């Protein structure tokens, strides 16, 4: 949440040092709170080796999603406010963060998703929507702390930020409307 607070403070007072601090925190998280050897997949300190499983607290389970939600907020701020780009570390940092969101969303969807059959009648099952395990590195786990509401909201935070980034990238640029839009008559004002 500190990333969001620093972004809001910058919007209020324009102090670039606040965004520079947010960038340092974001980059430290991308460096130090990821699974070792797994390109940028966020890890909770409690994840470790599943054979030596420790119970994750609800705060730990939620951290990854909250972090990505506020990282998305920084990306959105830079998109809306060009003056925010430089103090956040420039375009290279924004591309790195966007790639990080994308790689975590991909890991959640391809590695951490559990697809369970739902009984719909005696001897009948249908495929249910996926649920997401605690570790985004996968495989989906149903161990204590695995398929909880908190694990779901954490994963969904990342998938929502990924969708926001994808939609933002599809937005038409100013003055780059379609030919149909350019040819459309102005609505009459009564």
pLDDT digits (tens, 9 = 90+) for 100-110: 999 999 999 98
Q: What is the pLDDT of residue 57?
A: 74
Question: How far is 45 from 39, CA to CA, in rounded Å?
Answer: 17
Q: What is the pLDDT of residue 29?
A: 94
Q: What is the pLDDT of residue 162?
A: 96
Give the model's confidence band at 51: pLDDT under 50 very low, under 70 low, under 90 confident, else very high: very low
User: What is the percent of the chain where pLDDT is above 70?
Assistant: 75
Who contacts 170 (Cβ-Cβ below 8 Å, separation ≥6)? none
**What pTM does this model have?**
0.81
Question: How far is 113 from 115, CA to CA, in rounded Å?
Answer: 6
Task: Say whether pLDDT at 55 is over 70.
Answer: no
Question: How far is 69 from 115, CA to CA, in rounded Å?
Answer: 25
Question: How far is 162 from 160, CA to CA, in rounded Å?
Answer: 5
CB 152 within 8 A of CB 131: yes
Q: What is the pLDDT of residue 35?
A: 86
Average pLDDT over every residue of 21-29? 96
Who contacts 54 (Cβ-Cβ below 8 Å, separation ≥6)? 46, 48
CB 155 within 8 A of CB 162: no
Average pLDDT over every residue of 15-36? 94
Average pLDDT over every residue of 146-154? 82
Q: What is the pLDDT of residue 59?
A: 80
Give the model's confidence band at 180: pLDDT under 50 very low, under 70 low, under 90 confident, else very high: very low
Q: 48 or 3, which is more confident?
A: 3
Q: If DSSP codes are grouped into helix, strand and coil, which group holds residue 145? A: coil
Please name each of the domains of the chain with its CATH number.
2-170 (1.50.10.20)
Q: What is the pLDDT of residue 41?
A: 92
Q: What is the pLDDT of residue 175?
A: 53
User: Alpha helix locations (H) across the chain?
Assistant: 2-13, 16-32, 58-80, 90-110, 149-170, 179-183
- Dihedral of alpha carbons 32, 8, 101, 62, sign: positive
């Amino acid at each position: 949440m500190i990333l969001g607070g620093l972004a809001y403070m910058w919007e209020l007072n324009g102090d670039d040092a606040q965004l520079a601090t947010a960038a340092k925190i974001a980059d430290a998280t991308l460096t130090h709170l990821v699974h070792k050897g797994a390109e940028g997949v966020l890890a909770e300190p409690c994840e470790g080796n599943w054979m030596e499983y420790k119970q994750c607290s609800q705060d730990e389970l939620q951290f990854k999603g909250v972090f990505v939600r506020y990282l998305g907020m920084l990306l959105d701020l830079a998109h809306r406010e060009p003056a925010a780009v430089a103090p956040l570390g420039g375009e290279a940092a924004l591309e790195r963060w966007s790639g990080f969101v994308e790689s975590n969303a991909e890991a959640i969807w391809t590695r951490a998703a559990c697809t369970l059959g739902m009984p719909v009648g005696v001897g009948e099952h249908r495929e249910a929507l996926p649920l997401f395990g605690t570790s985004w590195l996968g495989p989906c786990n149903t161990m204590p702390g695995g398929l909880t509401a908190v694990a779901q909201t954490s994963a969904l935070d990342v998938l929502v930020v990924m969708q926001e980034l994808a939609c933002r990238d599809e937005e038409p640029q100013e003055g780059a409307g379609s030919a149909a839009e350019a040819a459309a008559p102005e609505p009459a004002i009564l």
